A and B are shown apart, each in its own frame.
Chain A
């Protein structure tokens, strides 16, 4: 009995350690460089695998139209997310998408229109009143994604350990794919270069 008790305790500790290790999440960070481009901002880096579940936010995510630009220029969301398109300019704006085949109409300052993205893909956003305006809504089937800053930096936290396909998308360059392994409690560094 004296021998059995320490053994059980030891097994329990081992089991706890194993459970803790598997429940710890990892981080993927790195730099995505847009070769030949003025900026590396707006690259959407995502981790993809089968069986991932996504929970769209309860509140709509906003994309503004301000100073004749869409803000942000690239908006990454999970499937099922509703995007609220604002107009903060003193002139009418419109939103339509060639891929989505929707036209939300034209509306004045202070008003907004909403659209729910139920299918993964990249949706170009255009304003028919101001043809120079353009933005992208990138709809993903993974909860693990990030959009690069001006320096191309990205960080995806809270990733369940495992093997993933890391996909980097840019509006003007070829997408890239890499196999990555995420380990619990660790940060894996990945540097990418996107080219034409």
Chain B
């Protein structure tokens, strides 16, 4: 259990640093930016206490905000995504069967892919709307949300695919 906590903390820190030092500088075609840190919320074990998920999401978003000078924006979006985690999971698979599993492609297959893209979409929808609703027009915001969602999801699937391959080898 203690080892698990340590592992989780380390991946938390790595994801925050990766986000603020590398991914925030990506602006693909001037529209798409990956927000990979939400991967941490996606990968929390399915049976995790819902309040714990919410608080973790808040801390995660808040850490990103401190680095990005965007106090509250990432935190608000991450908390929303964390809150929607349970209902979205319920949509795609029977949660009771996977109580102690960490969501992944080998466990859930296609359901994981759908679950990920929906959570990422909810998070990006909230984040990009909050950060730019007063500056940009609606089509530009939608374009940003959709392109960023695709980019983040592709990144997550790539990481997942890499993990699957390593397990088999």
Do A and B make up one complex?
no
**Which of A's residues lie within 8 Å of B, judged by CB?**
none
B interface residues (Cβ-Cβ under 8 A, vs A): none
